[in-house]
Amino acid sequence: MRDVQQIRNTVILGHGHSGKTTLAEALLFTADAIGRLGRVDEGSSTLDFEDEEIRRKISINAAFGHLIWQGCELFLTDTPGDDNFVNETKFAARLADSALLTVGGVLGVRSQTERFVDLVLERKLPCLICITKMDRERANFLETFDEIRQTFPKLNPAVLHLPIGAEKDFQGVIDILNNQALLFRLDGTVDIAEVPAELLDETAVRRASLMEYVAETDDDLLEHFLEEGELSDEALKNGLAAAVRQGKIAPVLPCSPLNNAGSSIILDAITSFLPSPDQRPVLIGTNPKTKELVQRRGLADAPFSAQVFKTTADTFTGRLTVFRVLSGTLKGDSFYNSTKGENEHFGHLFLMQGKEQKEVESVCAGMIAAVAKLKNTGTGDTLCEEANPVLYEPLEPLSSVISYAVTAKVEKDEEKLFSALTKMLDEDLTLHLTRETQTHEVLLSGVGQVHLDVIKDKIKRKFSVEMALSVPKIPYRETLKGKATAQGKHKKQSGGRGQFGDCTIEIEPLKNGEHFEFVDKIVGGVIPQQYRPAVEKGVLEAMEKGVIAGYPFSGLKVGLLDGSYHNVDSSEMAFKIAGSLAFKKAVLEAHPVLLEPIMEMEIRVDKEHVGDVMGDLNSRRGKVLGMDSNNRHEIIRAQVPQAEIQLYSLDLTSMTGGRGSFQVKFSHYEEVPTQIAQKIIANHQIEVGGE
């Protein structure tokens, strides 16, 4: 049985192009877990291996690596920094024990950095902060550190290593804890040397500051510090380790992953300061049968439990299910899926190294493992022992914010396309496929434009089918504001039995938001009882096709007033046609209008962007309902026509530099302004004329 105290499970977080994947690559290479140091810009990285990642030079999927360092087994999850794929990052952070937060030494804190720090704080993840790209021109460690400290005081960042040299002369670091210089070697390790004379004063200041930080995290240490004026080397090291594991201090380290400079120092920090699974808080779930609360510890001998946080579809290996073991040990060929209430059998257990898989006999708490070809298990499901069941809170995906109508480029490929999309839905919980009953379009919804473009590329590569995306039609409706009466008569004589139906109807608006009401007001037998429902059917069919712009009618009350019939020629079909004709005539006299869907929006932006966003909403015919604020954001609530916000995510990103986010849901229907309605009606008449 493995010793979980020697396991570290760490998620690597950071803004786009902050060097997360390059850092992970350097750590794996330095620990001899991979044979060569790949590069993202050359497409040779171990962890960015999907074609779409290589082409775009960004991480799209969470990728996994593991290594051995100083007797510890480290499990690393490299995550995307792009907003379009941050759901993968959110799930990975939920199931990690600690985090490496990367901040570029040139770019500094970016808008995405805030989102990742929120994940760290929300999950109370012990954290190391790596200031990357220290070899680059204009890289500045202390300026970046000050920016981190000012922007994220709750992290309580503290300098653990000071850089020696800058930009292309970045050659090592000063280990403040041990008062020594560490000079980089090409293989990622270091040589120990004396602290350069010109940095002695700065080192002393930073060591005193670190000592103060550590003392403030523990009452006993603080008392000793106040009495003695300092902490012993041992008390400082032990106090720092305890403070980091409790999330009270986030040590900051400079590095240059592209040159493999500082990798061994970061590995040392992970093993020395970040917690093992048994040092994390007790996990709380429920017993799916009794609904009672259940506790699990990250121990190898506890009952087995795990949670799935990634599912991939592959044309060769089939479905691959990746999960984090939360407690206990898994060995054998089956487990119980408490989310689905079913036992699942598997053939082999794997550890992941990029796209490579290494078979193992067992896995224990803290480890990330994978199995292939499960039938019913999906992302977010809880796995456990049937005799000791537990159900953890499911993983909640980010909301979709952009939708397109989706079709196959080649009509005969429709079935193949939707089979591929079904597999993508299993893999990516932020994707949604819905059918708009009114427009008869199938809508594909995702987190952003790039997200859907990547799905399009992936489906073409994996399943050899091309999909086309187009802006969806707006599900307008027609209704009326007035009241009218009209006769519909259908009479046809063409030899043999003819057709005859005659009805007079009255139409008026239906209040209270109801769709349709039919009232039979016939007195006597001017229309026999068996033909009256046919009039209603004719009206309903005509309502579906609309009258003024081809959109369905709603909010209508129809009264059947009068009519006539023929003993031989009348039929249900004749009265159905008569009902349709009467409806179309009456509508044109009853002040018909177009209705449009109004969406309720909640938009989160920085204070500096509130004016731009509010002005933009007004230009989109929006109504601002109110504003709230939290610690960092202004929250704008508004109602806006759906037609005005179909590609809003792109516009909001442009307006706010990627710092805005929003949620949207349907609210109600409202009348379309006359000028806009006239254009919609004119376009419909052109289309009908063209047909």
Write out pLDDT tens, residues 153-171.
999 999 999 999 989 999 9
**Of residues 433, 406, 439, the one with CA closest to residue 597:** 439
48 band by pLDDT with thresholds 50, 70 and 90? confident
Is residue 496 pLDDT above 80, yes or no? no
Is residue 288 pLDDT above 90, yes or no? yes
**Structure token pair of residue 655:** 């307006």
Asked if the domains at 4-279 and 478-590 fall in one CATH topology, the answer is: no
pLDDT value for 689: 67
256 band by pLDDT with thresholds 50, 70 and 90? very high
Is residue 14 pLDDT above 90, yes or no? yes
Average pLDDT estimate for 409-429: 90
Which fold would CATH assign to domain 595-675? Alpha-Beta Plaits (3.30.70)
pLDDT value for 121: 94
Give the 3-state secondary structure of 113-170.
HHHHHHHHHHHCCCEEEEEECCCCCCCCHHHHHHHHHHHCHHHCEEECEEEECCHHHC
**Of residues 119, 145, 98, 366, the one with CA closest to residue 244:** 98
Return the CATH architecture of domain 4-279: 3-Layer(aba) Sandwich (3.40)
Rounded to 10 deg, the angle between the 233-245 and 200-215 helix axes is 60
* Interatomic CA distance for residues 244 and 273, integer angstroms: 6
pLDDT value for 426: 85
Is residue 412 pLDDT above 80, yes or no? yes
pLDDT value for 606: 86
Is residue 264 pLDDT above 70, yes or no? yes
Instruction: State pLDDT tens for residues 132-157.
Output: 999 999 999 999 999 999 999 999 99
pLDDT value for 51: 84
Backbone angles phi, psi at 433, to 5 degrees: -120, 120
Is residue 230 pLDDT above 60, yes or no? yes
CATH code that applies to domain 402-470: 3.30.70.870
Which fold would CATH assign to domain 283-384? Elongation Factor Tu (Ef-tu); domain 3 (2.40.30)
Is residue 4 pLDDT above 60, yes or no? yes
690 band by pLDDT with thresholds 50, 70 and 90? low
Is residue 55 pLDDT above 70, yes or no? yes
Q: What is the DSSP letter of 256?
A: B
**Of residues 506, 459, 513, 511, the one with CA closest to residue 486:** 506
pLDDT value for 513: 67
Return the CATH architecture of domain 478-590: 2-Layer Sandwich (3.30)
Phi-psi region of 133 (alpha: psi -120 to 50; beta: other; left: phi over 0): left
| Domain ranges (residues) in the chain | 4-279, 283-384, 402-470, 478-590, 595-675
315 band by pLDDT with thresholds 50, 70 and 90? low
Is residue 589 pLDDT above 90, yes or no? yes
